[in-house]
Amino acid sequence: MNLPKPTGSTSYLFVLLVFFFMISEILTAETTITQEDLGPIVPSPGQNAYPPVALVGEAQPSAAFREIWTYLQNGDEKLLDALYPVTDVVYFGAAINYRGHLYGTPVRNKLLAYKGRVHLVVNEMSNQALTHFCLDPEYPIRNTLLTEIADASKDFDGVQLDFEMVPAPDAENFYSFLTLLKKKIGKKTLSVAIPARTRNVGDAYDYDRLSKIVDKIIVMAYDEHWSGSVPGSIASLAWCRKVSDYAIAHIGKDKLVMGLPFYGRAWTEKNPAKAYRFSGISDLINEKNISLINREESIPFFSYDETVHVNVFFEDGFSIISRALMYEDLSVQAIAFWKLGQEDRSIWNRLVIMP
């Protein structure tokens, strides 16, 4: 619904009456809130984000999971509220230098106020050649790295390997590396973050093989649309359902952790997309005087024109909980958020840890 801008006391009163009628309808509804119930979002000038979404969020049910994981960047410790319903913090993270040695391991004692489990992330996300040399048993760098990771894990409850550039020919080396790492860390939880799939594509991220090696698998169910793609949701609900169906069938509910995004992206006509956290989207809405926001499968989006046309898809409390509720309906036991500090913080009031 497009509400007219007030031009006088009569118009202003009309807007208030329409607004309270809409809220009353939502709060008294007995059925699940749908996109049709919401209609387009009309931001209030000068407000941070848009009040109608916050009010609609109050009418939504909570989603309950046995485990709720969230990624936390080293240096962002102040963003972790001890009262958040979080069972597992994935501490990001240690990296690998050009010589194959571990560096930048976060200090576990920075999170003393947090009483849940903390997992050390070891990541290599951009260098396929380095990944190959770290995994190939022909090179001594592999055994050294395994020992360094095991030593670094001593203060943590688990280790997560986030290798996103594993070449397909290195698949067997990847699986054997994980097998050896699990032996070295013993009873600590070994998890791995892998790309979202709806079928086996013959790469190094074989869901069936990995589920036989590690304790937990985080399926990064985001970037359906990415910086170089056409504009669209970071993770549409229809796509997420296909990803989760495949993951449940090939990983199993006990080991599966479905990843959810907190961030959004803005696409221009020529340049790659820019990623935004929720607070940045709120600032953009106010800065550009956005007059209308729509939803696609509960995911909010808007467009505006400068010297180029810009399309923005993002995540707010309503879209995030809608996705979480879908996973709950599919009997997913655990979810993980990328990453703390990017979110609409109202989401934390809509999550429950199951006993």
Residues marked active site are found at 164
Instruction: Spell 160-179 as b/e; 16+ CB within 10 A means b.
Output: bbbbeebeeebbebbbebbe
- CA-based diameter of the chain, in Å? 80
User: In whole angstroms, how far apart are CA 313 and each of 74, 115, 141?
Assistant: 27, 35, 42
Residue type, 74: N
Residue 301 makes CB contacts below 8 A (sequence gap 6+) with 233, 293, 294, 295, 311, 312, 313, 314
Helix (H, G, I), strand (E, B) or coil at 183: helix
H or E element at residue 178: helix 171-185
Comparing CA positions, the residue from 323, 339, 340, 341 lying closest to residue 63 is: 323
CB atoms within 10 A of CB 336: 25
Nearest-10 Cα torsion for 62, 281, 233, 79: -50
What is the distance between the terminal CA atoms of the chain, rounded to a whole angstrom?
41
Instruction: Give yes or no for a contact between 105 and 94, defined as CB atoms under 8 angstroms apart.
Output: yes
The first and second tokens of residue 47, run together, are 């407000």
Q: Give the Cα separation of 194 and 191 in Å (integer).
A: 10
CB atoms within 10 A of CB 275: 17
The first and second tokens of residue 303, run together, are 């467009």
> Assign residue 305 a region: left if phi > 0, alpha if psi is -120 to 50, beta otherwise?
beta
In 37-87, the DSSP E strands lie at 63-65, 67-73
Could you tell me whether strands 309-313 and 334-338 are parallel, antiparallel, or unpaired per DSSP bridges?
unpaired
